[in-house]
């Protein structure tokens, strides 16, 4: 995941993600959308062929960010937790 100037971009072999966030005083919040770009053929049935939106809130430091949120996959709600670590600084 790449975070820069309030925008989020990321992905993997099957999905891409994009969203936005705001941050101040060690707290952040935002929304990220996850979409399938290549068929998963049943390997990730909750996510496949769905546009999944995740709203989150959390905390951050100069080196890490954590967030808790809720993913909405169709009619199913899924709790979500992420931990990010700075890999490359500007």
Give the SS3 label for residue 75: coil
Reported confidence tier of residue 89, pLDDT bands at 50, 70, 90: confident
**Res 64: pLDDT:** 95
Domain chopping of the chain, boundaries: 2-85
The whole-model pTM stands at: 0.82
Q: Which residue has the higher pLDDT, 26 or 78?
A: 26
**Res 18: pLDDT:** 96
Strand ordering across the sheet containing 27-36: 2-4, 7-11, 15-24, 27-36, 52-60, 64-73, 76-85
């Amino acid at each position: 995941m790449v975070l820069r100037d309030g925008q989020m971009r990321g992905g993997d072999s099957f999905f891409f993600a994009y969203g936005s966030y705001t941050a101040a005083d060690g707290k952040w919040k935002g929304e990220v959308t996850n979409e399938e770009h290549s068929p998963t053929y049943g390997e990730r049935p909750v996510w496949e062929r769905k546009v999944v939106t995740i709203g989150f809130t959390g905390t951050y430091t100069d080196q890490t960010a954590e967030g808790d949120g809720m993913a909405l996959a169709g009619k199913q709600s899924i709790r979500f937790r992420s931990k990010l670590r700075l890999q490359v600084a500007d």
